[in-house]
A and B are shown apart, each in its own frame.
Chain A
Amino acid sequence: MVAVFAASILTNTLVAADWLAGMQEGKPAFKTMGPLAFGPDGILFVGDSKSAQVIAVVTGDIKAASADKPLKVRAINEKIAGLLGVTADQVLIDDLAVNPISRNAYLAVSRGRGPETNPVLVKVTGSGTPELVNLDKVKHSVAKLPNAPEDKISGQGRRARNQRMEAITDIAFFQDRLLIAGLSNEEFASKFRAIPFPFKTVESGTSVEIYHGAHGKFETRSPVRTFVPFNIGNEPHLIAAYTCTPLVQFPVKQLKSGAKVKGKTIAELGNRNRPIDMVVYEKDGKEYLLLANSSRGIMKMDAAQIDDAPSIEAKVSDKEGVTYDTIEDWKGINQLDLFGRSQALVLRSDGEDVLALESLALP
């Protein structure tokens, strides 16, 4: 999940757009849920990897939150398990997104772990009690992920069975587009798409190849893991973290269909590490980028440094480029999103097999 402070950092939405154009009321068909990202007016984008689509759902959750109250829900996974009537080991929380208007947390949850699971959307309000979001009758629209024609071919003859699937690794809404990063279970290649919103036609997406320097070479193959829209000067850019942690920036305006985009590698964040989530925020008049990782803790970077970072094109030993502070006491973070102006909401490990949903003051 990624989030952007709309007003201060980017003009995140177009003025007076009819975001509900083309939406239908009914029950959207989900096979899986997650990643999640909020767009304008309480619209929640939900990635469904198994159906190869993203569904925009009007939550109607648009009552502005009053104050920056802290939140801590212990054993959130066990509480959700109770709600779903299963043991906690049958609950997987696949993503977290905070509605920037109401500050309610939304969790993409899988009930069950096999191929026949119930994907459910769970809302956690300020009271800390998880509740199911009723999706039986909601305004929604669907964007099928535009596959390259060759992806539709499943092999020799009519008996062929297509085992190829593309996992959606991250989504974000930016201005009037939904940005989607994906990863296939067969080709190790980077797919990045920008789909105009409101969703119009099925094949309206853009698929771009993003090249970046890594390991002393220039390559496309490594997939984008998580990304965040970000202004460099007045120019909107994306900062993308790759699976083996190069941090790469590229201009949003280059995201045109079929384009080859040359990203600038601005940092190598080290081996044996996997980026999880990124947020951009403002504190004391300065902008920061916060990156949660699997093994190197939370990294905090001064955004001004990113603005004029040099490109890394040579082989690097481990960490290089933009420097960062490691926030030591933010440990065991699985998910991260902004929670008002001064806090982050995290899903973190709180003992063996126990997860807590907790707000933390932004560093």
Chain B
Amino acid sequence: MRGPALAISLLWLISQARAAAEVSVHWVGESVEARGVSLSSSTLDWETVFTVHLDSVELEQALIMPPMAGSYTLLDGILTFQPRFPLQAGQRYRASLRVGDEEPLVALHEVSREKTVSTTTVDTVYPTADNVPENLLKFYLHFSAPMSRGHIYNYIHLMDDTGQEVELPFLELDEELWDREMKRVTLFIDPGRIKRGVKPLEEIGPSLVEGKTFKLVIDAAWEDADGLPLAEGYEKAFRVGAGDRSVPDPKSWTPVLPDVGSMGKLQLRFPEPMDHALSVRWIRLENAKGVTVEGAVSMAAAEQVWELKPEIAWKAGDYRFRVLSTLEDLAGNQIGKPFEVDLFEEINDQGKPKTHWVNLPFTIPAS
């Protein structure tokens, strides 16, 4: 600490003022003021005498706990502390003015919560299908409102059909794969726990086993961005089918056409469920001029249907779907590239296109 001599003289002055009952501490909005302080120097270590802590930090503990960061200004005998960060909702703060061995002068400030009742829920978990392949790669958890990050895997459980929790089925990443709004989090099944080929993994076996029913359970204790737990927990039961090691084939996809002049949805149907996020991102509809058809895209029928609701009525003409080859099915197989592949050959084949657009032309007839 700097300037012990000055700090001592400040203490002495405050002490004198306090003896004359002239010093007081008040919160003003999110700032706190000490009145009656009669020094003009601003170079002092104010944090040695005037500090803010959470009220939950006990007084003795506060002597070793760093006080809240912020800035001090002294003007006309009023010493103001402006916290560096906004105060936390639902917490009580304590400003203390310490003078020597005397009891500190204290002012409390409680920050109310705008929201006290939890309303956030798990909206949807993708895949929504009741049957998933044994080599399912990921889940997307969608929430109704922004969530909080940190230790999320404590709240997510995979239960087998005997009610036993599957041990560490997911790839637990400190980074936690959220979207920007924190309303969606991606859960990868640990690839080391996905059954490969015909033999099961030797140490602990795969997370998901063909022919069995599993349940994904999300605890209500998971807090949303307001620090409130979910309104309710979530459970999703699903049956595990055979592994899917074949690549999606766009030739097997069928467009279902709307009537000309209607505002009906145009669909693209797949023989298997596709990855929700990647389908929404990588399937596009263009008109004959190569212009994207504007509208709202969604997935339906357990992600076996991509559909577009147009902004303006359909016109007859030539259209095409454009699909990026990195589109995946539920097992991470991409167009032309299975998830599990022996790449010794391919790595030497530099000419092979890595990622490419697949065009699927079709016509909406005039009548």
| Residues of chain A having any CB pair with chain B under 8 Å | 49-50, 78-87, 89-90, 92, 94, 111, 113-116, 118, 129-132, 148, 150, 153-160, 162-165, 167-169, 183-188, 211, 215-222, 243-245, 260, 262, 270-272, 274, 276, 294, 317-318
* Residues of A close to B277: CB separation below 8 A: 163-164, 186
* Residues of B close to A78: CB separation below 8 A: 65
What count of chain B residues pass the 8 Å CB interface test?
86
18 residue pairs bridging A and B, Cβ less than 8 Å apart: A85-B85, A86-B91, A89-B150, A114-B225, A114-B226, A153-B281, A155-B282, A156-B292, A160-B297, A165-B180, A187-B328, A188-B188, A215-B192, A218-B347, A219-B343, A221-B332, A271-B192, A318-B203
Question: A114 to B280, Cβ gap below 8 A?
Answer: no
Q: When A and B form their complex, which 6 residue pairs have the shortest distance between CB atoms, in order from nearest?
A: A114-B225, A244-B192, A185-B177, A85-B68, A167-B175, A113-B148
For residues 43 through 57 of chain B, which have their beta carbon under 8 Å from a beta carbon of chain A?
52-54, 56-57
* Residues of A close to B167: CB separation below 8 A: 272
The stretch of B18-26, B213-221, B248-256, B334-342 that contacts the partner chain: B334-342
**Residue B181 is within 8 A (CB to CB) of chain A in the complex:** yes
Q: Closest approach, in angstroms, between the C-beta of A281 and any C-beta of chain B?
A: 23
Q: Closest approach, in angstroms, between the C-beta of B56 and any C-beta of chain A?
A: 7
Specify which of B68, B150, B185, B278 is in contact with A113 (CB 8 Å cutoff).
B150
* Residues of A close to B283: CB separation below 8 A: 156
Q: Closest approach, in angstroms, between the C-beta of B126 and any C-beta of chain A?
A: 11
Question: Closest residue of chain B to A132, judged by CB?
Answer: B69
**Residue B84 is within 8 A (CB to CB) of chain A in the complex:** yes
Q: Closest approach, in angstroms, between the C-beta of A76 and any C-beta of chain B?
A: 11
Specify which of A87, A159, A162, A184 is in contact with B88 (CB 8 Å cutoff).
A87
Residue picked from A153, A157, A276, most chain B C-beta under 10 Å: A157
Known contacts: A114-B147, A221-B332. The answer to whether A85 contacts B52 by CB under 8 A is yes
With the chains together, A262 CA to B173 CA distance in Å?
Answer: 25
Chain B positions 175 through 193: 1 when the CB is less than 8 Å from some CB of chain A, otherwise 0: 1111111101110101111
Known contacts: A113-B148, A169-B173. The answer to whether A159 contacts B66 by CB under 8 A is no
With the chains together, A118 CA to B308 CA distance in Å?
Answer: 38
Q: Closest approach, in angstroms, between the C-beta of B336 and any C-beta of chain A?
A: 15
Q: Closest approach, in angstroms, between the C-beta of A302 and any C-beta of chain B?
A: 25
* Residues of A close to B332: CB separation below 8 A: 188, 221
With the chains together, A352 CA to B148 CA distance in Å?
Answer: 20
* Residues of A close to B297: CB separation below 8 A: 155-157, 160
Question: A150 to B355, Cβ gap below 8 A?
Answer: yes
* Residues of A close to B172: CB separation below 8 A: 274, 294
With the chains together, A244 CA to B347 CA distance in Å?
Answer: 22
- Give 14 A-B pairs besides A155-B280, A157-B292, A157-B296 with Cβ atoms closer than 8 angstroms: A50-B180, A82-B54, A114-B225, A115-B182, A159-B294, A165-B177, A165-B179, A168-B175, A188-B138, A221-B191, A222-B191, A262-B347, A270-B203, A274-B171
* Residues of B close to A317: CB separation below 8 A: 202-203
* Residues of B close to A158: CB separation below 8 A: 294
Known contacts: A164-B277, A183-B173, A272-B168. The answer to whether A118 contacts B85 by CB under 8 A is yes
With the chains together, A244 CA to B207 CA distance in Å?
Answer: 14
* Residues of A close to B148: CB separation below 8 A: 113-114
Question: B171 to A243, Cβ gap below 8 A?
Answer: yes
* Residues of A close to B358: CB separation below 8 A: none
* Residues of B close to A186: CB separation below 8 A: 186, 275, 277-278, 281
* Residues of B close to A188: CB separation below 8 A: 137-138, 188, 191, 332
| Residues of chain B having any CB pair with chain A under 8 Å | 52-54, 56-57, 65-69, 83-85, 87-88, 91, 93, 137-138, 146-150, 167-168, 171-182, 184-186, 188, 190-193, 196-197, 201-204, 223-227, 275, 277-278, 280-285, 292-297, 308, 324, 326, 328, 332, 339-344, 347, 350, 355
* Residues of B close to A216: CB separation below 8 A: 196-197
With the chains together, A284 CA to B305 CA distance in Å?
Answer: 64
Specify which of B175, B179, B293 is in contact with A169 (CB 8 Å cutoff).
B175
* Residues of A close to B203: CB separation below 8 A: 270-272, 317-318
With the chains together, A159 CA to B68 CA distance in Å?
Answer: 42
With the chains together, A160 CA to B296 CA distance in Å?
Answer: 8
Known contacts: A262-B347, A294-B172. The answer to whether A244 contacts B52 by CB under 8 A is no
Known contacts: A49-B175, A221-B339. The answer to whether A85 contacts B182 by CB under 8 A is no
Question: B83 to A85, Cβ gap below 8 A?
Answer: yes
With the chains together, A220 CA to B346 CA distance in Å?
Answer: 11
With the chains together, A157 CA to B175 CA distance in Å?
Answer: 30
Question: A82 to B191, Cβ gap below 8 A?
Answer: no
Question: Closest residue of chain A to B188, judged by CB?
Answer: A188
Specify which of B146, B188, B192 is in contact with A114 (CB 8 Å cutoff).
B146
Question: Closest residue of chain B to A31, judged by CB?
Answer: B180
Q: Closest approach, in angstroms, between the C-beta of A170 and any C-beta of chain B?
A: 10
Specify which of A50, A169, A218, A220 is in contact with B342 (CB 8 Å cutoff).
A218
* Residues of B close to A221: CB separation below 8 A: 191, 332, 339
Question: A157 to B293, Cβ gap below 8 A?
Answer: yes
Question: B281 to A85, Cβ gap below 8 A?
Answer: no
Question: B341 to A219, Cβ gap below 8 A?
Answer: yes
With the chains together, A242 CA to B58 CA distance in Å?
Answer: 44
